Structure 1
Amino acid sequence: MRLTHALPLILAATPALADVNIYSYRQPELIAPLTEAFTKETGIQVNTAYLVEGLTERLKAEGDRSPADVILTVDIARLKEAVDAEVTQPLMTDTLQANIPAEFHDPDGLWWGMTSRARIVYASKDRVAPGEVTTYEDLADPKWKGRICTRSGMHTYMIGLTSAYLAHHGPEETKAWLEGLKANLARRPQGNDRAQVKAIWAGECDISLGNTYYMGEMLADDEQREWANSVRLDFPVFDVEGGGTHVNISGVALTKSAKNKEDAIRFIEFLSSQAAQEIYAEANSEYPLAPGTEASDLVKSWGDLKADNLPLSDLAANRAEALRLTEEVDYDG
């Protein structure tokens, strides 16, 4: 497991180093504006350990000795993993319930969503007409044969989408969809979401699946800006009654071992506030969840998002079956 700057070792050795200690999968540049704003407002110091992998495993190994009060991560699957490992504890306050809609938090308060991202289609501006991509179901249509790129079907972002498809359509239709999507691939699944956009730019495929915030990241990168400018974001929906665009979240949870519980709760409530939501959403090129907050001008420029109304808890419940079906069709083979 790789960590940045050995911060977790410092935390483990000196739990009293800060008033709130965080383990985070989110990058330092995304978290720093939030922690700085919280400290400025409250005077409470925050110390963050940035982990690349193994967050839940680390908390389990540390047990009650863990210095971590809060975990920050992406994707409902990773939050559910922490809950299943019993390393988080319930947290339910009036502030959090007012700020975070019910579909974006655990019913018992074991995790809370902070921002959302949509898993959409990146489409070549030159080779795909506006309005040509309308539904997720359509991606299995043979008209796309040899025109689609994706990352591994086993990646948590792809499994999240497959879990949503499973919730809407059941296992038989989901398996058929995965088989159709696989048959339409231009190449074997590989790379991350940005690598798929690069492949579109290079003419290897015409459309790909990816999270919205990667557009913001690519536009901010001198090399990748050209890739980003070659594509358009299309927002497919599920072709079911009330269906919308698949969304997932970045989220937060209070650890079971929290030593600084009161200050940690203040920090989590701060994350749900309009001010923090706007800071976080803009830094991440994501969508804020708190009522009354707006996405950044850049994110709004990508188009209107009609989010799917499927509870995130349903995605977590379908994860194992989605994994099984993805393996059964040998999606990455």
Structure 2
Amino acid sequence: MLKATTILAGALVATVATSAAAEGELNLYSSRHYDTDERLYSDFEEATGITINRIEGKADELIARMSAEGANSPADILLTVDTSRLARAKDAGILQSTDSAVLEASIPGYLQDADNQWFGFSQRARIIFFDKAEVANPPRTYLDLADPAYKGMICIRSSSNTYNQTLLASIVTHHGADVAKDWADGVVANMARAPQGGDTDQLRGIISGECEISVANSYYFARSIRKEVKGLSAERDMIGWIFPSQDAEGAHMNLSGAGIAAHAPNRDNAVKFLEYLASEQAQQYFSAGNDEFPAVPGVGLAPSIAALGHFKPDDVNLSDVAKNIPVAQKIFNEAGWE
């Protein structure tokens, strides 16, 4: 039997490859690193009698591992975050199409791969935060972040961050590469500091006074409402937020999603797992356990997410956005976005 473990060297590949297919088991490769997902897995096991054997690691490491394992890979499911990584997995040829009436009925089409190789199961809005005492007229759209009026005011993550890559790819999708290049140039000119840290660090930058405006995913802020987050929760009231582009395309959403591995030895169990992730129980847990927006319409929100208010999400087809991720990376490089 496989054991839940972290990413290891090639010796483990030979060990698991000989026992990959097993009745009542599922081999999950996951780059989600949230302790609250333990409940998600245990509920599936209890409901189905299927044991989950989990291997965890960074998304790029898992994609490279599955590629190296090839037809001998024990992986049944790849679970990861953001459209860019899901697209990377598809391009690497390590996923397969999934025909499921349950998934088609539950997951909106714009949150699915065009070839059904991956499906989104939870969402995060990438939104604009600002110092309420210092910023009288905060940016209302993503394009506004490039306005010279905000010179020296913005904290934002590096260009290697997948959330920023997908955001820029969505700008390319909506507005074209030329507008996207001007935007990237303008944001670089408006940075208060060189990109550093994670999304929570961008929010802490407002509290410390290093910047007046930041860009971060909604769940990092919502988490500080649900529980104590060092350096953020105590001073959270000084921060306001904008769901951008409400009179246009809407707020950009990125995904946590999954697909069935190309050589899944336990394919039927893999389909059951994806269908479980689309269930109301699992969808509520994505929200309550990790402050995410459910992918399935009509599922109730956790209080920490509901506190952010109603907004219009961008419903652009994320398969189209994924095609523009290489363009986005090229633009980042040309703009000198570190």
- TM-score, normalised by the number of residues in structure 2: 0.91
Q: Which runs of 4+ in 1 moved over 6 A?
A: none
Q: Contact between 1:148 and 1:205, CA under 8 Å: does it hold in 2?
A: yes
Q: Which runs of 5+ in 1 are unaligned?
A: none
The verdict on how the C-alpha distance between 1:122 and 1:11 changes in structure 2, with shifts beyond 3 A counting, is farther
Distance apart, 1:92 and its partner CA = 1.6
- The answer as to 2:102 corresponding to 1:95 is yes
- More displaced 10-residue stretch of structure 1: 16-25 or 279-288: 16-25
Q: Match of 2:20?
A: 15
Give the match's secondary structure for 1:290: coil
Q: Match of 2:303?
A: 297
Q: How many residues of Structure 1 are paired with residues of Structure 2 in the alignment? A: 327
Q: Which of 141, 154, 158 pairs up with 1:148?
A: 154
Q: Which of 104, 109, 114 pairs up with 2:111?
A: 104
Q: Contact between 2:21 and 2:266, CA under 8 Å: does it hold in 1?
A: no
The verdict on how the C-alpha distance between 1:12 and 1:28 changes in structure 2, with shifts beyond 3 A counting, is farther
Q: Match of 1:4?
A: 6
Q: Which runs of 5+ in 2 are unaligned?
A: none
Deviations along 1:285-315, whole A, 9 cap, x unmatched? 1110113212211101012131112110121
Quote the sequence identity (%).
37
Q: Contact between 1:287 and 1:294, CA under 8 Å: does it hold in 2?
A: no
Which one-letter code corresponds to 2:103 in the other structure?
A: L
Distance apart, 1:284 and its partner CA = 1.9
- More displaced 10-residue stretch of structure 1: 211-220 or 143-152: 211-220
Q: Which of 238, 241, 263 pairs up with 1:233?
A: 241
- The answer as to 2:117 corresponding to 1:115 is no
Q: Contact between 2:223 and 2:229, CA under 8 Å: does it hold in 1?
A: no
Q: Which of 182, 195, 198 pairs up with 1:176?
A: 182
Which one-letter code corresponds to 1:188 in the other structure?
A: A
- More displaced 10-residue stretch of structure 1: 206-215 or 150-159: 150-159
Q: Contact between 1:274 and 1:292, CA under 8 Å: does it hold in 2?
A: no
Q: Match of 2:89?
A: 82
Which one-letter code corresponds to 1:198 in the other structure?
A: R
Distance apart, 1:16 and its partner CA = 5.1
In 1, the alpha carbon distance for the partners of 2:9 and 2:133 equals 46
Q: Contact between 2:99 and 2:116, CA under 8 Å: does it hold in 1?
A: yes
Q: Which of 173, 197, 200 pairs up with 1:167?
A: 173
Which one-letter code corresponds to 1:110 in the other structure?
A: Q
Q: Contact between 1:136 and 1:239, CA under 8 Å: does it hold in 2?
A: no
Deviations along 1:188-245, whole A, 9 cap, x unmatched? 11111111111111001111111111113444344232354442232111764xx111
Q: Contact between 2:78 and 2:261, CA under 8 Å: does it hold in 1?
A: yes
In 2, the alpha carbon distance for the partners of 1:167 and 1:227 equals 36
In 1, the alpha carbon distance for the partners of 2:293 and 2:134 equals 28
In 2, the alpha carbon distance for the partners of 1:222 and 1:322 equals 32
Q: Match of 1:209?
A: 215
Q: Contact between 2:130 and 2:138, CA under 8 Å: does it hold in 1?
A: no
Distance apart, 1:6 and its partner CA = 5.5
Q: Contact between 1:118 and 1:247, CA under 8 Å: does it hold in 2?
A: yes
Which one-letter code corresponds to 1:74 in the other structure?
A: V
- More displaced 10-residue stretch of structure 1: 26-35 or 296-305: 26-35
The verdict on how the C-alpha distance between 1:181 and 1:204 changes in structure 2, with shifts beyond 3 A counting, is same
The verdict on how the C-alpha distance between 1:28 and 1:301 changes in structure 2, with shifts beyond 3 A counting, is closer
The verdict on how the C-alpha distance between 1:323 and 1:6 changes in structure 2, with shifts beyond 3 A counting, is closer
Q: Contact between 2:129 and 2:241, CA under 8 Å: does it hold in 1?
A: yes
In 1, the alpha carbon distance for the partners of 2:287 and 2:86 equals 19
Q: Which of 197, 206, 209 pairs up with 1:191?
A: 197
- The answer as to 2:77 corresponding to 1:70 is yes
Q: Match of 2:268?
A: 262
Which one-letter code corresponds to 1:15 in the other structure?
A: A
- TM-score, normalised by the number of residues in structure 1: 0.92
Deviations along 1:73-107, whole A, 9 cap, x unmatched? 00111001111111111102110101100000012
